[in-house]
Structure 1
Amino acid sequence: MITKEQIAADYQIIQNEICAALEFTDGKARFEEEKWEREGGGGGRTRIIQNGNIFEKGGVNFSAVDGQLPEVIKKSLKVDSDDFFATGVSIVIHPNHPLVPIIHMNIRYFEMPSSFAAGKEPIRWFGGGIDLTPHYVVEDDAKFFHSSLKAVCDRFNTTFYDRFKKWADDYFFIKHRDETRGVGGIFYDRLTATDNLSWDDLFAFSKAVGRSFIPIYTELVNRHKQETFTADQQQWQYQRRSRYAEFNLVYDAGTKFGLETNGRIESILMSLPPTAKWLYNYQPKPGSEEEKTLSLLKKGINWV
């Protein structure tokens, strides 16, 4: 049976692979690493890339933390045990180019070690996902993105993509704006072994999602990085970034978990963009690309 130590070790390898590939893609910026320890147990490696040719700000973070769950988290997770272990890799990339999309990915594992006592069904699960937030929705990009994710899902279970795509549509939804954060992707949580998929299978799926990040995102970056853009398009980029910030601060479960478990603030909030704008009552021009983008920030669009 796979162990939490093995999962954490393999997640660190994936972090290394992604950082190396992003540095190569950018061609200028290099990741800065800060190792940290969590009061209460565990720690991680925060890696930040800034002011590159393409990537204005981004993070590829690994953590493996343990300790005692606060009561508010126990109630949220509906568990009785106090102890926990959680490990994962979390990524957010904010490009400096309005035609290159923001991307987020997370792969994670959670367990309650005391539940592994003889005679008990262990409390453990995998979670994660990957979603795309274009400043301008390019339909061919969205189709490529979703087709790539479906191919990853179908290798393990042909029901995964449809289930996890709907989950992402519902999760990455800014209720107070009545719009999705982007074009969605896949999202899953509390994924446990079944008759069809073992824990080894789920771990392999988790790593496959993690390793899908680079071929997907580098393709999207390379499609648009040489295109010219206007000052107005960059202003729209800053406006769309404000929606990203709103979602992460108001709704994101990972942000809330990190703050409630006394996580490292800089690592948790690295997902926020370096610059964003909140223009009062902004209305895009009829027939514009901005209006088209807003029309496609809806749940239930079939991109495959």
Structure 2
Amino acid sequence: MTKENISTYFQGLQDDICKALESADGKATFHEDNWQREGGGGGRSRVIQGGNVIEKGGVMFSAVWGDLHEKMLASMGLTEKVDFFATGVSIVIHPNSPKVPIIHMNVRYFQMSNGTYWFGGGIDLTPHYVVEEDAVWFHQYLKKVCDEHDETYYPKFKTWADDYFFNTHRNETRGIGGIFFDYQKPHENRNKEDLFAFVKSVGEAFAPIYTHFMNKNKDLPFTETEKTFQMLRRGRYVEFNLVHDRGTKFGLETNGRTESILMSMPPMAQWVYDYKAEKDSEEAKTLGLLRKGINWV
């Protein structure tokens, strides 16, 4: 298995996911923007906007290479220059309805000319309103995906997601978590093919998971109060991505492609000074569930 094989697979995954989302939305289609990276490589940025269900979403593929940036060399404790190759698919979807959740997925592969390589990725869900039935279904689905490869994956990667997708400045999780993993390398019990098979299973779980929520919740009625709360929840999403997300921060600091990096931002969001949810309201219930360590399965 070569880096080219992995990259080609990710391109096909992007194609499959885009087709599934267009079909489930029933109106909007993806616009493709092909771009080249000055230092080597490029990508296909695909954005969908103004749909029946999806207000704005992106399914991004990239395969880039070249000299490893000094910031990343320093973060790895490396002193000698090395070349890198990185490829992956990254997705964020912002729906029209406050009853349909925001979703994020990323699957990626990274290797260096010194022989080091690893896989990373994950899926996490950010409902505007936490519906416990939906949270249980989502986590059960991810646990099944993980258990087919290694029964230690789900508890380990679920905890990793809780810890990573956390707005420390508000002491709340971004959503209901999911799974998150990084720096996954071969060891005595798993080889490169095993790791790639798991990453493929995670990537291929995205379309059935999100189209389930699109179809289940898209026609549910909502109020102006719920729409306002959606804008506030989007604001918290923006806060995480700009303040805490490693990928966003690294991309902007190293002169990455700004349009692709900021694809994850919602088209509209809102911040209300010193917002307080009404006691015993659905808004208060959701805010009370934005915490680590909830065992959904």
User: What TM-score comes out, normalization by structure 2 length?
Assistant: 0.98
Q: CA deviation at 1:184?
A: 0.2
1:24 equivalenced with 2:52 (yes/no): no
Q: CA deviation at 1:72?
A: 1.3
Three-state SS of the structure 2 residue aligned to 1:153 is helix
Q: Distance in 1 between matches of 2:14 and 2:210?
A: 15
1:92 equivalenced with 2:85 (yes/no): no
Three-state SS of the structure 1 residue aligned to 2:57 is strand
Partner of 1:299: 292
Q: Distance in 2 between matches of 1:131 and 1:27?
A: 24
Q: Which letter does structure 1 place at the counterpart of 2:280?
A: G
Q: Distance in 2 between matches of 1:161 and 1:69?
A: 32
Q: Distance in 1 between matches of 2:221 and 2:179?
A: 30
Q: Distance in 2 between matches of 1:51 and 1:78?
A: 45
Partner of 1:199: 192
Q: Distance in 2 between matches of 1:38 and 1:131?
A: 28
Structure 2 counterparts to residues 211-250 of structure 1, below 5 A:
211-250=204-243
Q: Distance in 2 between matches of 1:40 and 1:238?
A: 38
Partner of 2:146: 153
Q: CA deviation at 1:222?
A: 1.3
1:56-113 deviations in whole A, cap 9, x for unaligned? Answer: 000000000111122111122333443111100000000010010000000000000x
Q: Is the 8 A contact 1:39 1:262 kept in 2?
A: no
Question: Which of residues 162, 173, 189 in structure 1 aligns to 2:182?
Answer: 189
1:281 equivalenced with 2:280 (yes/no): no
Q: Which letter does structure 2 place at the counterpart of 1:180?
A: T
Three-state SS of the structure 2 residue aligned to 1:163 is helix
Question: Which of residues 113, 116, 119 in structure 2 aligns to 1:123?
Answer: 116
Q: CA deviation at 1:23?
A: 0.1
User: What TM-score comes out, normalization by structure 1 length?
Assistant: 0.96
Three-state SS of the structure 1 residue aligned to 2:293 is coil
1:1-54 deviations in whole A, cap 9, x for unaligned? Answer: x11100000000000000000000000000000000011111000000000000
Q: CA deviation at 1:195?
A: 1.6
Q: Distance in 2 between matches of 1:271 and 1:281?
A: 25
Q: CA deviation at 1:258?
A: 2.0
Q: Distance in 2 between matches of 1:77 and 1:50?
A: 38
Q: CA deviation at 1:197?
A: 1.2
Partner of 1:119: none
Three-state SS of the structure 1 residue aligned to 2:103 is strand
1:129-160 deviations in whole A, cap 9, x for unaligned? Answer: 00000000000100010000000111111100
Residues paired across the two proteins, number: 296
Partner of 2:263: 270
Partner of 2:7: 8
Q: Which letter does structure 1 place at the counterpart of 2:47?
A: I
Q: Distance in 1 between matches of 2:48 and 2:73?
A: 34
1:139 equivalenced with 2:138 (yes/no): no
Partner of 1:51: 50
Q: CA deviation at 1:256?
A: 2.1
Q: CA deviation at 1:262?
A: 2.6
Q: Which letter does structure 2 place at the counterpart of 1:49?
A: I
Partner of 2:78: 79
Q: Is the 8 A contact 1:179 1:297 kept in 2?
A: yes
Q: Which letter does structure 2 place at the counterpart of 1:124?
A: Y
Three-state SS of the structure 2 residue aligned to 1:291 is helix
Q: Is the 8 A contact 1:69 1:261 kept in 2?
A: no
Q: CA deviation at 1:220?
A: 1.3
Q: Is the 8 A contact 1:38 1:262 kept in 2?
A: no
Q: CA deviation at 1:226?
A: 0.8
Q: Is the 8 A contact 1:73 1:260 kept in 2?
A: no
Structure 1, unaligned stretches of length 5 or more? 116-121
